[in-house]
Amino acid sequence: MVTEDTLTSKEQNFYTIEQVASRTGFTKRTLRYYEEVGLLPPTDRTEGNYRRYSEADILRLERIKNLRDLLGFSLTDIRKLLEAEDERGQIKVAYRHETEDLAKVAQLDRADELIRVQIYLIEQKLAGLEQMRATLLANLERHELKRKELLAHIDKEIIKS
């Protein structure tokens, strides 16, 4: 079923920028920016040159939002993670069609390189979070020591009086 704002082409629904903004919580400006900086592949266009987004575009935007908001990745790191995922997807398709074992090994090697890039980005994020956690735990320890000193001082004052 096609609504007034939903565009269809060969059984695939396409959505206007307004619909995508509403569905994802991104502003129209952000959607355009993400396309400009390469986080979102260039969208299809209508004959009137209006952007139209696919369901795959919306899923990618939701992935970007999770990486940014829930996991705290920078847009640069998100782009690297998504580029690696995209290339791994291409390798997966090529691997299925490849008949030569040596070529398959090379594809697996490249996929592994991409996975290592992704792991490195995740490990950097984890190290930063662990450092932040360690700092906060040290603060709690210092507060507990200070609290004990203050309570001991209060007890001495009570005993004196």
User: Percent of the chain, pLDDT > 90?
Assistant: 80
DSSP 52: E
Q: How far is CA 136 from CA 35, 58, 70, 73, in A?
A: 38, 37, 20, 21
Check whether 67 has a pLDDT greater than 50. yes
108: left (phi over 0), alpha (psi -120 to 50) or beta: alpha
Distance CA 152, CA 110 (A): 63
pLDDT score of 3: 46
Distance CA 46, CA 16 (A): 10
Widest CA span of the chain, in angstroms? Answer: 91
pLDDT score of 10: 54
pLDDT bucket at 6, cuts 50 / 70 / 90:
low
DSSP 8: E
Distance CA 143, CA 79 (A): 40
Residue whose structure tokens are 């400006």? 29
pLDDT of 72-128, one tens digit each? 999 999 999 999 999 999 999 999 999 999 999 999 999 999 999 999 999 999 999
Stated pTM of the model = 0.76
pLDDT bucket at 4, cuts 50 / 70 / 90:
very low
Mean pLDDT value across the chain: 91
Which residue has better confidence, 42 or 127? 127
Element (H, E) at 3: none
pLDDT score of 42: 84
